[in-house]
Amino acid sequence: MPSPQRILLALLLALLAGCRQERVAAKASFYVWRTRLELSQADHKALSELKVQRLRVRLFDVVRDGDGIHPVGKLHVASMDAIPVTEILPVVFLREAVFRGTPVPAGLAGQILSERDKICQEGKLRCRGMELDCDWTPGSRQGYFDLCKVLSDSLHARNEMLHSTLRLHQYHSPAQTGVPPVDRLTLMAYNMGPTTASPARQSILDMKELARWLDTKSVYPKPLDVALPLYSWALVVRDGNPVDILQQATASELDSLPWLEARSDGLWKAKQGFFLHGLWIRKDDGLKLESPDVSSLRKAADLLARKLPAQTDREVIYFDLSESALAAHPAPELRDLQERLGTDSVKPLPAATSLRAPVGRQH
């Protein structure tokens, strides 16, 4: 008589024989970080090609200044006609200083939720849930977590979820940095260190830094989505030090300017003073371009897929939705990143599947 162990093994093998392994790609989303919301034809095309169901749209910032704690930079919705997504996840950016100094007003959570509802209703946005973006520290953690708890309770009463962004240093040591009381978090795989004039070091996406922060024995106790950078910038280097940032600069733009000269060390040198993107560039200033290429993004996606716990419902959020980003990173490239950040799922074979050889030409 076969032993129980052999019977169990035979049943397991029979079960596996009727299954197949399938790669489940991560879902795609974009951050929309603008003060005026109006999608272009290129935006619509990318959202359709990538089958994006949800956009993460910044609605406003919350700051602390001489007038107290209040929202600024509110989003103006110009047009959202026929947007090819089913819902909007509103994002609120909170400066870390909000949670330092005098205690946060008890009504801040209600004020944030009320402002969210107002913008969504007036802009006719299909909003659901909320994401808070804050780089909390040990000194601001308790205030931020208290706000998360109140907002989470309010959203749960509506059957909605609260998300929070998560920096790499917060992911690496949850026992020290704490875990916010939210439903899901978005690991931000960019902005990895201080800017430097060295062409060999990239501050937007640095693989050594990413590997260092992902090297942890801690298993993060909440579901994680992942944000990847599609943006570029140019650091203004003066006397060997970065002094400012030109947002959304590109290599083709810098090459086209007659006032700049490309140098062998990877910098562009200003031959005379001029304005660029609203900044005054001095004669002899250097411009260092930082722009994650497809190879770096693929390596980052592969590393994240290896290091993060497997999830079949993971979302990859590209920062951010812009025509320059879409031109540099077409849809097939982004779909490949989603595949790399996906997970393997075992599914049963269709009922009609047979192990018999197919009927066909005889050899």
Cα-to-chain-centroid distance, residue 239: 34
Q: Provide the residue ranges of all domains of the chain, joining segments of one domain with +.
A: 18-232+291-348, 234-290
Cα maximum dimension of the chain: 91
CATH number of 18-232+291-348: 3.20.20.80
Q: Which two tokens stand for residue 242?
A: 């970065």
Percent of the chain with pLDDT over 70: 88
Least confident interval from 74-83, 289-298, 303-312: 74-83
Host H or E run for residue 176: helix 174-177
CA gap 330, 6 in Å, rounded: 52
pLDDT given at position 81: 64
The Cβ of residue 47 has, within 10 Å, a number of other Cβ atoms equal to 22
C-alpha distance across the termini of the chain, in Å: 42
- Global pTM value: 0.86
Q: Please, which residues have CB within 8 angstroms of residue 231's CB and are 6 or more apart in sequence?
A: 204, 247, 248, 319, 320, 322, 325
Q: Which whole number is the average pLDDT over 74-82?
A: 81
- What pLDDT is recorded for position 356? 37
Pairing between β-strand 19-24 and β-strand 54-65 as defined by DSSP bridges: unpaired
Residue 156, pLDDT above cutoff 50: yes
Residue 289: per-residue pLDDT: 93
Residue with tokens 């209703």: 121
Judge whether residue 212 has pLDDT over 90. Answer: yes
Q: Which of 309, 302, 58 minimizes the C-alpha distance to 174?
A: 309
Q: Which residues are bridge partners to 226 per DSSP?
A: 187, 316
Confidence of residue 361 (pLDDT cuts 50, 70, 90): very low
CA trace torsion 61, 223, 18, 22 (10° rounding): 40
How far apart CA 10 and CA 326 sit, in angstroms, is 51
Question: In whole numbers, what is the pLDDT of the chain averaged over residues?
Answer: 89
The predicted pLDDT at position 346 comes to 46
**65 strand-pairing partners:** 68
Lowest-pLDDT range, 13-17, 142-146, 203-207, 292-296?
A: 13-17
Contact 204, 233 (CB under 8 A): yes
Amino acid at 215: D
Share of the chain above pLDDT 90, in %: 72
pLDDT at 359: 34
338 C-beta neighbours (distance < 10 Å), count: 20
127 secondary structure, DSSP code? B
